[in-house]
Protein backbone atom coordinates (compact mmCIF):
# COMPACT_ATOMS: atom_id res chain seq x y z
CA UNK A 1 0.00 0.00 0.00
CA UNK A 2 2.83 2.34 0.86
CA UNK A 3 4.70 1.58 -2.33
CA UNK A 4 1.59 2.21 -4.43
CA UNK A 5 0.54 5.25 -2.42
CA UNK A 6 3.87 7.07 -2.53
CA UNK A 7 3.74 6.56 -6.30
CA UNK A 8 7.45 6.86 -6.98
CA UNK A 9 8.37 6.61 -10.65
CA UNK A 10 12.05 5.93 -10.01
CA UNK A 11 13.60 5.27 -13.39
CA UNK A 12 16.84 7.13 -12.77
CA UNK A 13 18.60 7.90 -9.51
CA UNK A 14 17.69 11.59 -9.64
CA UNK A 15 13.94 10.85 -9.81
CA UNK A 16 14.13 9.07 -6.46
CA UNK A 17 17.51 8.50 -4.83
CA UNK A 18 15.80 6.59 -2.00
CA UNK A 19 14.11 4.10 -4.33
CA UNK A 20 17.35 3.40 -6.17
CA UNK A 21 19.57 3.16 -3.12
CA UNK A 22 17.16 1.03 -1.11
CA UNK A 23 17.00 -1.38 -4.04
CA UNK A 24 20.79 -1.82 -4.08
CA UNK A 25 20.83 -2.19 -0.29
CA UNK A 26 18.09 -4.83 0.04
CA UNK A 27 19.46 -6.81 -2.89
CA UNK A 28 22.91 -6.78 -1.28
CA UNK A 29 21.32 -7.93 2.00
CA UNK A 30 19.59 -10.79 0.29
CA UNK A 31 22.64 -11.71 -1.80
CA UNK A 32 24.51 -12.09 1.49
CA UNK A 33 21.67 -14.12 3.03
CA UNK A 34 21.82 -16.46 0.03
CA UNK A 35 25.63 -16.58 0.18
CA UNK A 36 25.80 -15.44 -3.43
CA UNK A 37 29.35 -14.76 -4.58
CA UNK A 38 30.83 -11.37 -3.80
CA UNK A 39 30.76 -10.51 -7.53
CA UNK A 40 26.97 -10.18 -7.38
CA UNK A 41 27.13 -7.34 -4.86
CA UNK A 42 26.71 -3.72 -5.89
CA UNK A 43 30.12 -2.58 -4.61
CA UNK A 44 31.96 -4.37 -7.43
CA UNK A 45 31.22 -4.83 -11.11
CA UNK A 46 27.90 -6.57 -10.55
CA UNK A 47 24.75 -5.91 -8.59
CA UNK A 48 21.10 -6.68 -8.09
CA UNK A 49 17.99 -5.20 -9.65
CA UNK A 50 14.29 -5.83 -9.16
CA UNK A 51 12.49 -6.81 -12.34
CA UNK A 52 8.74 -7.25 -12.65
CA UNK A 53 8.90 -10.95 -13.44
CA UNK A 54 11.26 -13.85 -14.04
CA UNK A 55 10.29 -13.58 -17.71
CA UNK A 56 11.72 -10.06 -17.85
CA UNK A 57 14.80 -11.21 -15.93
CA UNK A 58 15.67 -13.93 -18.42
CA UNK A 59 14.94 -11.59 -21.31
CA UNK A 60 17.30 -8.85 -20.15
CA UNK A 61 20.17 -11.22 -19.43
CA UNK A 62 19.64 -13.01 -22.74
CA UNK A 63 19.90 -9.65 -24.51
CA UNK A 64 23.04 -8.80 -22.55
CA UNK A 65 24.62 -12.17 -23.40
CA UNK A 66 23.56 -11.88 -27.06
CA UNK A 67 25.14 -8.46 -27.48
CA UNK A 68 28.26 -9.46 -25.57
CA UNK A 69 29.00 -12.35 -27.93
CA UNK A 70 28.02 -10.33 -31.01
CA UNK A 71 30.54 -7.66 -30.03
CA UNK A 72 33.19 -10.37 -30.47
CA UNK A 73 31.91 -12.33 -33.47
CA UNK A 74 30.10 -9.55 -35.34
CA UNK A 75 26.41 -8.68 -35.55
CA UNK A 76 25.88 -10.71 -38.70
CA UNK A 77 26.36 -13.87 -36.62
CA UNK A 78 22.97 -13.41 -34.91
CA UNK A 79 21.31 -16.28 -36.87
CA UNK A 80 24.02 -18.67 -35.61
CA UNK A 81 23.55 -18.12 -31.86
CA UNK A 82 22.37 -21.15 -29.88
CA UNK A 83 20.56 -21.15 -26.53
CA UNK A 84 20.40 -24.21 -24.26
CA UNK A 85 18.19 -25.42 -21.43
CA UNK A 86 16.47 -28.58 -20.31
CA UNK A 87 13.11 -29.47 -21.81
CA UNK A 88 11.57 -28.43 -18.47
CA UNK A 89 12.77 -24.85 -18.61
CA UNK A 90 10.03 -22.26 -18.22
CA UNK A 91 8.40 -21.11 -21.47
CA UNK A 92 9.67 -17.59 -20.74
CA UNK A 93 13.06 -18.62 -22.20
CA UNK A 94 11.54 -19.35 -25.59
CA UNK A 95 9.63 -16.08 -25.43
CA UNK A 96 12.87 -14.25 -24.63
CA UNK A 97 14.52 -15.87 -27.68
CA UNK A 98 11.60 -14.77 -29.85
CA UNK A 99 11.80 -11.19 -28.59
CA UNK A 100 15.59 -11.21 -28.85
CA UNK A 101 15.52 -12.02 -32.57
CA UNK A 102 17.13 -15.42 -32.02
CA UNK A 103 16.20 -18.37 -34.17
CA UNK A 104 13.65 -20.36 -32.09
CA UNK A 105 14.92 -23.52 -33.84
CA UNK A 106 18.26 -22.86 -32.17
CA UNK A 107 16.78 -22.83 -28.70
CA UNK A 108 17.80 -26.35 -27.73
CA UNK A 109 15.49 -27.84 -25.11
CA UNK A 110 17.54 -30.86 -24.15
CA UNK A 111 15.73 -34.02 -23.17
CA UNK A 112 15.58 -35.08 -19.53
CA UNK A 113 14.00 -38.11 -17.92
CA UNK A 114 13.43 -39.81 -14.60
CA UNK A 115 17.03 -41.12 -14.47
CA UNK A 116 18.14 -37.61 -13.45
CA UNK A 117 14.84 -36.64 -11.83
CA UNK A 118 14.28 -34.40 -14.86
CA UNK A 119 17.49 -32.42 -14.34
CA UNK A 120 19.73 -31.51 -17.28
CA UNK A 121 22.65 -33.85 -17.78
CA UNK A 122 26.04 -32.13 -18.32
CA UNK A 123 26.97 -34.88 -20.81
CA UNK A 124 23.86 -34.21 -22.88
CA UNK A 125 24.70 -30.50 -22.81
CA UNK A 126 28.33 -31.09 -23.83
CA UNK A 127 27.29 -33.30 -26.71
CA UNK A 128 24.76 -30.76 -28.00
CA UNK A 129 27.34 -27.99 -27.82
CA UNK A 130 29.96 -30.06 -29.68
CA UNK A 131 27.47 -30.89 -32.42
CA UNK A 132 26.48 -27.26 -32.80
CA UNK A 133 30.08 -26.07 -32.95
CA UNK A 134 30.82 -28.73 -35.56
CA UNK A 135 27.93 -27.34 -37.62
CA UNK A 136 29.38 -23.84 -37.51
CA UNK A 137 26.93 -22.52 -34.92
CA UNK A 138 27.79 -20.38 -31.88
CA UNK A 139 26.67 -21.56 -28.42
CA UNK A 140 26.15 -18.52 -26.18
CA UNK A 141 23.56 -19.01 -23.41
CA UNK A 142 22.47 -21.67 -20.92
CA UNK A 143 19.45 -21.24 -18.69
CA UNK A 144 19.89 -23.69 -15.81
CA UNK A 145 17.01 -24.41 -13.44
CA UNK A 146 16.96 -24.67 -9.70
CA UNK A 147 13.37 -25.82 -9.21
CA UNK A 148 11.63 -26.39 -12.54
CA UNK A 149 8.02 -25.35 -12.89
CA UNK A 150 6.85 -28.91 -13.58
CA UNK A 151 8.53 -30.90 -10.84
CA UNK A 152 11.04 -28.59 -9.06
CA UNK A 153 13.96 -30.42 -10.69
CA UNK A 154 17.39 -29.03 -9.83
CA UNK A 155 20.02 -28.92 -12.57
CA UNK A 156 23.58 -29.76 -11.40
CA UNK A 157 25.07 -26.26 -11.45
CA UNK A 158 28.74 -27.10 -10.71
CA UNK A 159 29.00 -29.64 -13.56
CA UNK A 160 27.02 -27.45 -15.97
CA UNK A 161 29.17 -24.45 -15.08
CA UNK A 162 32.31 -26.36 -16.11
CA UNK A 163 30.78 -26.88 -19.54
CA UNK A 164 29.68 -23.25 -19.92
CA UNK A 165 33.04 -21.93 -18.78
CA UNK A 166 34.95 -24.08 -21.26
CA UNK A 167 32.70 -22.88 -24.08
CA UNK A 168 32.41 -19.21 -23.12
CA UNK A 169 28.65 -19.49 -22.57
CA UNK A 170 26.61 -17.13 -20.34
CA UNK A 171 25.15 -19.13 -17.45
CA UNK A 172 21.82 -17.88 -16.12
CA UNK A 173 20.25 -19.62 -13.13
CA UNK A 174 16.46 -19.57 -12.97
CA UNK A 175 15.56 -20.20 -9.34
CA UNK A 176 12.28 -18.31 -9.62
CA UNK A 177 10.46 -20.51 -7.13
CA UNK A 178 13.09 -22.50 -5.25
CA UNK A 179 15.60 -19.70 -4.69
CA UNK A 180 13.62 -18.62 -1.64
CA UNK A 181 14.35 -21.94 0.10
CA UNK A 182 18.08 -21.30 -0.22
CA UNK A 183 18.04 -18.78 2.63
CA UNK A 184 17.86 -21.86 4.87
CA UNK A 185 21.35 -23.29 5.43
CA UNK A 186 20.06 -26.82 4.89
CA UNK A 187 18.78 -25.95 1.39
CA UNK A 188 21.59 -23.62 0.30
CA UNK A 189 23.43 -26.51 -1.38
CA UNK A 190 20.83 -26.49 -4.16
CA UNK A 191 22.51 -23.38 -5.57
CA UNK A 192 26.07 -24.57 -5.04
CA UNK A 193 27.84 -23.66 -8.27
CA UNK A 194 26.10 -20.27 -8.53
CA UNK A 195 29.62 -18.86 -7.96
CA UNK A 196 30.27 -19.62 -11.64
CA UNK A 197 26.98 -18.18 -12.94
CA UNK A 198 26.71 -14.88 -14.78
CA UNK A 199 23.22 -14.16 -13.50
CA UNK A 200 20.82 -15.49 -10.89
CA UNK A 201 17.10 -14.91 -10.50
CA UNK A 202 14.49 -15.63 -7.83
CA UNK A 203 10.95 -14.36 -7.51
CA UNK A 204 10.28 -12.80 -4.12
CA UNK A 205 6.66 -12.70 -5.26
CA UNK A 206 6.47 -16.48 -5.40
CA UNK A 207 7.48 -17.92 -2.04
CA UNK A 208 9.03 -15.03 -0.15
CA UNK A 209 5.93 -13.36 1.28
CA UNK A 210 6.32 -10.34 -1.03
CA UNK A 211 3.39 -9.09 -3.07
CA UNK A 212 3.55 -9.33 -6.84
CA UNK A 213 5.59 -7.99 -8.58
CA UNK A 214 9.10 -8.44 -7.24
CA UNK A 215 11.56 -10.57 -9.21
CA UNK A 216 15.15 -10.36 -8.02
CA UNK A 217 17.97 -10.50 -10.54
CA UNK A 218 21.69 -10.42 -9.79
CA UNK A 219 24.38 -10.09 -12.44
CA UNK A 220 28.15 -10.29 -12.19
CA UNK A 221 28.82 -7.82 -14.98
CA UNK A 222 26.32 -4.99 -14.89
CA UNK A 223 28.07 -3.28 -17.80
CA UNK A 224 26.88 -6.08 -20.10
CA UNK A 225 23.26 -5.28 -19.17
CA UNK A 226 23.80 -1.55 -19.44
CA UNK A 227 25.47 -1.79 -22.84
CA UNK A 228 22.39 -3.59 -24.16
CA UNK A 229 19.68 -1.59 -22.50
CA UNK A 230 20.97 1.93 -22.01
CA UNK A 231 19.64 4.93 -23.90
CA UNK A 232 20.51 8.47 -23.02
CA UNK A 233 18.03 11.01 -24.39
CA UNK A 234 18.54 14.71 -23.73
CA UNK A 235 15.49 15.00 -21.46
CA UNK A 236 16.94 12.48 -18.98
CA UNK A 237 20.41 14.00 -18.71
CA UNK A 238 21.44 15.13 -15.23
CA UNK A 239 24.66 15.71 -13.28
CA UNK A 240 24.50 12.56 -11.18
CA UNK A 241 24.07 10.26 -14.18
CA UNK A 242 26.61 12.10 -16.31
CA UNK A 243 29.17 11.88 -13.51
CA UNK A 244 28.75 8.07 -13.39
CA UNK A 245 28.26 8.40 -9.65
CA UNK A 246 24.94 6.59 -9.36
CA UNK A 247 22.94 3.61 -10.55
CA UNK A 248 20.21 4.34 -13.10
CA UNK A 249 18.09 1.24 -13.04
CA UNK A 250 16.35 2.28 -16.27
CA UNK A 251 19.44 0.85 -18.00
CA UNK A 252 19.00 -2.57 -16.36
CA UNK A 253 15.44 -3.22 -17.56
CA UNK A 254 13.02 -2.95 -20.51
CA UNK A 255 10.73 -0.06 -19.45
CA UNK A 256 11.81 3.38 -18.41
CA UNK A 257 9.40 3.88 -15.51
CA UNK A 258 9.69 1.75 -12.40
CA UNK A 259 7.91 1.38 -9.07
CA UNK A 260 9.35 1.53 -5.55
CA UNK A 261 9.37 -2.27 -5.34
CA UNK A 262 12.33 -2.40 -2.98
CA UNK A 263 10.10 -0.92 -0.29
CA UNK A 264 8.00 -4.09 -0.35
CA UNK A 265 11.05 -6.28 0.01
CA UNK A 266 12.53 -4.04 2.70
CA UNK A 267 9.26 -4.29 4.62
CA UNK A 268 9.22 -8.10 4.34
CA UNK A 269 12.83 -8.41 5.45
CA UNK A 270 12.31 -6.03 8.38
CA UNK A 271 8.98 -7.52 9.40
CA UNK A 272 9.84 -11.22 9.33
CA UNK A 273 13.62 -11.14 9.60
CA UNK A 274 15.65 -13.94 8.09
CA UNK A 275 14.67 -16.34 10.87
CA UNK A 276 10.98 -15.60 10.28
CA UNK A 277 11.39 -16.20 6.56
CA UNK A 278 13.30 -19.41 7.17
CA UNK A 279 10.51 -20.61 9.51
CA UNK A 280 7.95 -19.85 6.79
CA UNK A 281 9.88 -21.91 4.20
CA UNK A 282 10.51 -24.76 6.63
CA UNK A 283 6.85 -24.87 7.60
CA UNK A 284 5.74 -25.19 3.96
CA UNK A 285 8.30 -27.87 3.23
CA UNK A 286 7.21 -29.79 6.32
CA UNK A 287 3.56 -29.55 5.24
CA UNK A 288 4.44 -30.85 1.77
CA UNK A 289 6.46 -33.66 3.37
CA UNK A 290 3.45 -34.62 5.50
CA UNK A 291 1.28 -34.75 2.36
CA UNK A 292 3.91 -36.85 0.60
CA UNK A 293 3.85 -39.26 3.55
CA UNK A 294 0.06 -39.62 3.23
CA UNK A 295 0.41 -40.42 -0.48
CA UNK A 296 3.11 -43.00 0.20
CA UNK A 297 0.87 -44.77 2.72
CA UNK A 298 -1.93 -45.32 0.19
CA UNK A 299 -0.87 -48.12 -2.19
CA UNK A 300 -3.30 -46.91 -4.84
CA UNK A 301 -1.10 -43.84 -5.38
CA UNK A 302 2.52 -43.27 -6.27
CA UNK A 303 4.87 -40.35 -5.62
CA UNK A 304 6.34 -39.77 -9.07
CA UNK A 305 9.53 -37.82 -8.36
CA UNK A 306 11.24 -37.39 -5.00
CA UNK A 307 9.93 -34.22 -3.34
CA UNK A 308 12.60 -31.56 -2.91
CA UNK A 309 10.76 -28.41 -1.82
CA UNK A 310 7.04 -27.84 -1.19
CA UNK A 311 5.66 -29.43 -4.35
CA UNK A 312 4.51 -33.05 -4.39
CA UNK A 313 4.17 -34.81 -7.78
CA UNK A 314 1.99 -37.90 -7.56
CA UNK A 315 -0.54 -39.97 -9.46
CA UNK A 316 -3.28 -42.51 -8.98
CA UNK A 317 -2.18 -45.86 -10.39
CA UNK A 318 -4.47 -47.44 -12.97
CA UNK A 319 -5.87 -50.83 -11.96
CA UNK A 320 -4.09 -53.88 -13.47
CA UNK A 321 -5.30 -54.71 -17.00
CA UNK A 322 -6.70 -51.23 -17.46
CA UNK A 323 -6.52 -49.95 -21.05
CA UNK A 324 -5.77 -46.46 -19.80
CA UNK A 325 -2.13 -45.91 -18.82
CA UNK A 326 -3.43 -43.73 -16.03
CA UNK A 327 -3.50 -40.47 -17.95
CA UNK A 328 -7.27 -40.34 -18.34
CA UNK A 329 -7.76 -41.56 -14.79
CA UNK A 330 -5.62 -38.79 -13.34
CA UNK A 331 -7.13 -36.18 -15.62
CA UNK A 332 -10.59 -37.22 -14.38
CA UNK A 333 -9.38 -37.18 -10.78
CA UNK A 334 -8.03 -33.65 -11.17
CA UNK A 335 -11.35 -32.47 -12.60
CA UNK A 336 -13.36 -34.17 -9.88
CA UNK A 337 -11.19 -32.81 -7.07
CA UNK A 338 -11.11 -29.27 -8.41
CA UNK A 339 -14.85 -29.25 -9.10
CA UNK A 340 -15.44 -29.52 -5.33
CA UNK A 341 -14.27 -25.92 -5.10
CA UNK A 342 -12.56 -26.74 -1.79
CA UNK A 343 -9.12 -27.44 -3.13
CA UNK A 344 -7.25 -26.63 -6.31
CA UNK A 345 -4.51 -28.91 -7.52
CA UNK A 346 -2.62 -28.66 -10.80
CA UNK A 347 -1.02 -31.10 -13.23
CA UNK A 348 1.96 -31.60 -15.47
CA UNK A 349 3.23 -34.26 -17.84
CA UNK A 350 6.52 -36.02 -17.10
CA UNK A 351 7.85 -38.52 -19.67
CA UNK A 352 4.36 -38.82 -21.17
CA UNK A 353 2.66 -39.45 -17.82
CA UNK A 354 -0.08 -37.14 -16.64
CA UNK A 355 0.86 -36.17 -13.08
CA UNK A 356 -1.03 -34.44 -10.29
CA UNK A 357 0.69 -31.82 -8.15
CA UNK A 358 0.00 -30.36 -4.76
CA UNK A 359 1.95 -27.23 -3.89
CA UNK A 360 2.06 -25.62 -0.47
CA UNK A 361 2.74 -21.91 -0.86
CA UNK A 362 -0.03 -19.84 0.68
CA UNK A 363 0.88 -18.12 3.97
CA UNK A 364 -2.28 -19.29 5.75
CA UNK A 365 -2.05 -22.99 4.84
CA UNK A 366 -2.07 -25.30 7.86
CA UNK A 367 -1.80 -29.05 8.31
CA UNK A 368 -5.62 -29.32 8.50
CA UNK A 369 -5.90 -27.91 4.97
CA UNK A 370 -3.36 -30.40 3.65
CA UNK A 371 -5.18 -33.27 5.38
CA UNK A 372 -8.52 -32.08 4.02
CA UNK A 373 -7.07 -31.95 0.50
CA UNK A 374 -5.84 -35.51 0.88
CA UNK A 375 -9.23 -36.66 2.15
CA UNK A 376 -10.95 -35.20 -0.92
CA UNK A 377 -8.37 -36.83 -3.18
CA UNK A 378 -8.90 -40.21 -1.55
CA UNK A 379 -12.71 -39.96 -1.68
CA UNK A 380 -12.73 -38.98 -5.35
CA UNK A 381 -10.17 -41.67 -6.20
CA UNK A 382 -12.35 -44.32 -4.53
CA UNK A 383 -15.42 -43.13 -6.44
CA UNK A 384 -13.52 -43.16 -9.75
CA UNK A 385 -12.02 -46.62 -9.24
CA UNK A 386 -15.41 -48.08 -8.23
CA UNK A 387 -17.01 -46.82 -11.43
CA UNK A 388 -14.35 -48.07 -13.83
Residues lying near ligand PLP in the complex (CB under 6 A): 53-55, 90, 92, 147-149, 174, 176-177, 203, 215
Q: Which residues on neighbouring strands pair with residue 154, listed in sequence order?
A: 146
Burial of 77 (0-12, 13-18, 19+ CB in 10 A): middle
- Of 54, 118, 109, 55, nearest in space to 355 by CA: 118
Contacts of 212 (CB under 8 A, 6+ apart): 205
Compare residues 153 and 333 and give the one whose CB is closer to ligand PLP.
153
DSSP-based three-state secondary structure for 236: helix
CA distance 119 to 154: 6
Q: How far is the CB of 247 from ligand PLP (least distance, A)?
A: 22
Compare residues 149 and 330 and give the one whose CB is closer to ligand PLP.
149
Compare residues 83 and 203 and give the one whose CB is closer to ligand PLP.
203
Compare residues 202 and 373 and give the one whose CB is closer to ligand PLP.
202
Q: How far is the CB of 284 from ligand PLP (least distance, A)?
A: 15
Contact 248, 241 (CB under 8 A): yes
Q: How far is the CB of 54 from ligand PLP (least distance, A)?
A: 4
Q: How far is the CB of 56 from ligand PLP (least distance, A)?
A: 7
CA distance 376 to 95: 37
Q: How far is the CB of 205 from ligand PLP (least distance, A)?
A: 7
Q: How far is the CB of 387 from ligand PLP (least distance, A)?
A: 35
Compare residues 95 and 188 and give the one whose CB is closer to ligand PLP.
95
Peptide bond into 213 cis (omega under 30): yes
CA distance 326 to 127: 34
Compare residues 54 and 247 and give the one whose CB is closer to ligand PLP.
54
Amino acid sequence: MLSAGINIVGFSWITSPAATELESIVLDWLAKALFLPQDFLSNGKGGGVIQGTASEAVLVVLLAARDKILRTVGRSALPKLVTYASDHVHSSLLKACQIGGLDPELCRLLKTDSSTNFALSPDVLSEAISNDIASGLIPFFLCANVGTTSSTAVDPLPALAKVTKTNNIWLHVDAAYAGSACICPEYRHFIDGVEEADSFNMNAHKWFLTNFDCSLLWVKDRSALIQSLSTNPEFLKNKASEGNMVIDYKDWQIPLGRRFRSLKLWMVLRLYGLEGLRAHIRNHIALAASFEELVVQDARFKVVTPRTFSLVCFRLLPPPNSEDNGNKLNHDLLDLVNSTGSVFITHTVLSGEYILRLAVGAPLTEVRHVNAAWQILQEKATALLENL
